[in-house]
A and B are shown apart, each in its own frame.
Chain A
């Protein structure tokens, strides 16, 4: 580790992380809306095809236009992440081997082409292809976009829970043993479902927010109310699925990344009847090696965390201290022991290479077996101090609670909007104006919650770039810090420009409203 720190400027790691975080978070501004709004549009178009009512066609086209802006500005921002893998994270990229290659190749070939072909029909096909073919294209675009997300999330899930592979010490790559184990790992399944349902929820909030703007301005009321009916019902179903899959994700985190769960809840001392924190202020003086109280203020629910993980309030949940220093009674290895085992694995790798070079296959085989026996601890060979495995607790804790609080609030928002619009009481509702303002305010909140979810997932697993196998500093390429700083600022500039373009074009189009009905001289989309 010290050698590494001598060779690599520390700020290189920080700048590389900052650059990746900037790119990923910017990319994620566009993705969830695309994932969700396509299904909302497809439902709207289905109603149009079923009823033949041209107003539904107009509604569909309006939301399609907003989708197009989001798609145009957001498309290809994710490809930068792949550039960064090759340049800034070359050790990591090589180490993950074909685990990433296969899902990303499938994503490129299948979902991307499916998506782009049917998007063309969606926009160019009105009155040129049959209504049913157009509708099928819209649905397939939605499915294609979600399939794209599937493969990328499978790759991300593997980093959180490496499964279905073995490490080849001759190539320094992880090679896939079982594709289905990678694709259908419980972490991947929960991550995919939780992520896409978060996109659906955000999109539903977006539609409600824009519609609330129209209602507040007393214009496009029919479009707004019909859009709210679809969005609030779709959003309610989505947010319930989001909560369900969020629970599933938390169970997986508890099983495979207990440190992340402990950081999410600010849980330093684990035990049975573990407390779920509703709302709290963390004590900034608290660290794993002192006896300070973790919270300055808290509202917690005793036993609920244990119950949520295992449906039993008596279930033991390890805290940060238990994971760092170990808990013999509950069979948690101290990190120092894992570091020792990691070093055994690393030394076995070194010896294996030496024996191989000498042509001594017998001793090489012995070292290979030692490496494999200890491979689950391999990444700990990079950990200098057991305390280094603790992520930034305040960032993880607050991000998690912001996400949960906002998500819970959206349940109420969807219910109220659905109830009032379905019963046609929205406009006469005593607090309609306040409700519309809440609807609009929920849009940035949905984006914050969505980004916060990724912060929990990615900051919460630090220092690991691949859980237990590779730390961030081992994965980084030893290149000049200045080059990373330069590209960081280039991206910050480009992304800010694109974001301003997105928001201003979107606001202009919303302000302009939908096209006039076609029988009143409205243009084709």
Chain B
């Protein structure tokens, strides 16, 4: 517990006594983080396979079909 308190105080005092430029850097990181993780990730970058398919089996099936479809027009007769 004492160690946790010391760690907390270390970070707390670090942030508290941080110079102005350090705070500016944190502001840049926070704004960028919000912009990237909230706006960009959730609005523009849904995970295509996770969003559109429920199970890994469905995802596998979809990708295999995509891979086959991509090449199908040029493929030659199946060997037996």
A490 in the interface, Cβ–Cβ < 8 Å? yes
The answer to whether A1 and B71 have CB atoms under 8 Å apart is yes
Residues of A contacting B70 in the complex (Cβ-Cβ under 8 angstroms): 1, 3-4, 382, 473-474
Given contacts A72-B26, A171-B60, contact A347 B75 (CB under 8 A): yes
Residues of B contacting A483 in the complex (Cβ-Cβ under 8 angstroms): 44
Chain B residues touching A, range: 35 or more
The winner among B10, B45, B70, B79 for most chain A CB atoms within 10 A is: B70
Within 8 A of B (CB), among A488-509: 490, 494, 498, 501, 505, 509
The answer to whether B45 and A4 have CB atoms under 8 Å apart is no
Residues of A contacting B24 in the complex (Cβ-Cβ under 8 angstroms): 505
Given contacts A68-B22, A120-B11, A351-B80, contact A83 B45 (CB under 8 A): yes
Inter-chain CA distance A215–B71, complex, in Å, is 61
| New A-B contacts (7) at CB < 8 Å, excluding given A80-B40, A523-B19 | A4-B71, A68-B25, A72-B29, A128-B13, A347-B75, A366-B80, A494-B32
The winner among B13, B36, B78 for most chain A CB atoms within 10 A is: B78
A370 in the interface, Cβ–Cβ < 8 Å? yes
What would be 30 A-B contacts, judged by CB atoms less than 8 Å apart? A4-B69, A7-B69, A65-B21, A72-B26, A76-B32, A79-B37, A83-B41, A84-B45, A87-B46, A87-B48, A120-B10, A120-B14, A124-B10, A125-B10, A340-B76, A343-B71, A344-B79, A347-B78, A348-B78, A349-B67, A350-B68, A350-B72, A350-B75, A353-B64, A367-B79, A473-B70, A474-B67, A478-B66, A490-B40, A525-B19
Within 8 A of A (CB), among B52-76: 56, 59-60, 63-64, 66-76
The answer to whether B60 and A343 have CB atoms under 8 Å apart is no
The answer to whether A90 and B45 have CB atoms under 8 Å apart is no
A94 in the interface, Cβ–Cβ < 8 Å? yes
Q: Smallest Cβ distance from B62 to chain A, in angstroms?
A: 8
Within 8 A of B (CB), among A2-26: 2-4, 7
Chain B at the A interface: mostly helix, strand, loop or mixed?
helix
The answer to whether A76 and B36 have CB atoms under 8 Å apart is yes
Residues of B contacting A123 in the complex (Cβ-Cβ under 8 angstroms): 14, 22
Inter-chain CA distance A1–B73, complex, in Å, is 6
Given contacts A80-B36, A366-B80, contact A349 B68 (CB under 8 A): yes
A194 in the interface, Cβ–Cβ < 8 Å? no
A69 in the interface, Cβ–Cβ < 8 Å? yes
Residues of B contacting A498 in the complex (Cβ-Cβ under 8 angstroms): 32
Interface bits B4-39 vs A (CB < 8 Å: 1, else 0): 000000110111010101101110110011011100
Chain A at the B interface: mostly helix, strand, loop or mixed?
helix
Interface bits A195-220 vs B (CB < 8 Å: 1, else 0): 00000000000000000000000000
A520 in the interface, Cβ–Cβ < 8 Å? no
Inter-chain CA distance A486–B45, complex, in Å, is 11
B2 in the interface, Cβ–Cβ < 8 Å? no
Residues of A contacting B74 in the complex (Cβ-Cβ under 8 angstroms): 1-2, 343, 381, 384
Q: Which residue of A lies closest to B41 (CB)?
A: A83
Residues of B contacting A2 in the complex (Cβ-Cβ under 8 angstroms): 73-74
Residues of A contacting B69 in the complex (Cβ-Cβ under 8 angstroms): 3-4, 7
A524 in the interface, Cβ–Cβ < 8 Å? yes
Q: Smallest Cβ distance from A312 to chain B, in angstroms?
A: 40
The answer to whether A86 and B49 have CB atoms under 8 Å apart is yes
Inter-chain CA distance A349–B24, complex, in Å, is 55
Q: Smallest Cβ distance from A163 to chain B, in angstroms?
A: 21
Inter-chain CA distance A474–B72, complex, in Å, is 12
Q: Smallest Cβ distance from B68 to chain A, in angstroms?
A: 6
Given contacts A348-B78, A478-B66, contact A124 B14 (CB under 8 A): yes
A91 in the interface, Cβ–Cβ < 8 Å? yes
The answer to whether A348 and B40 have CB atoms under 8 Å apart is no
Question: B residues engaging A (CB < 8 A)?
Answer: 10-11, 13-15, 17, 19, 21-22, 24-26, 28-29, 32-33, 35-37, 40-41, 44-50, 56, 59-60, 63-64, 66-80
Residues of B contacting A349 in the complex (Cβ-Cβ under 8 angstroms): 64, 67-68
The answer to whether A94 and B80 have CB atoms under 8 Å apart is no
The answer to whether B60 and A477 have CB atoms under 8 Å apart is no
Residues of B contacting A367 in the complex (Cβ-Cβ under 8 angstroms): 78-79
Q: Smallest Cβ distance from B72 to chain A, in angstroms?
A: 6
A170 in the interface, Cβ–Cβ < 8 Å? yes
A479 in the interface, Cβ–Cβ < 8 Å? yes
A58 in the interface, Cβ–Cβ < 8 Å? no
The answer to whether A128 and B64 have CB atoms under 8 Å apart is no
Residues of A contacting B37 in the complex (Cβ-Cβ under 8 angstroms): 76, 79
Residues of B contacting A487 in the complex (Cβ-Cβ under 8 angstroms): 40, 44-45
Residues of A contacting B19 in the complex (Cβ-Cβ under 8 angstroms): 523-525
Give which listed residue, A124, A169, A353, contacts B13 with CB less than 8 A: A124
Interface bits A341-376 vs B (CB < 8 Å: 1, else 0): 011101111110100000000010011001000000
Inter-chain CA distance A93–B48, complex, in Å, is 10
Inter-chain CA distance A348–B74, complex, in Å, is 14
Given contacts A3-B72, A80-B36, A363-B80, contact A91 B63 (CB under 8 A): yes
Interface bits A62-90 vs B (CB < 8 Å: 1, else 0): 00010011001101100110011011001
Inter-chain CA distance A4–B35, complex, in Å, is 34
Q: Which residue of B lies closest to A4 (CB)?
A: B70
Residues of B contacting A90 in the complex (Cβ-Cβ under 8 angstroms): 47-49, 63
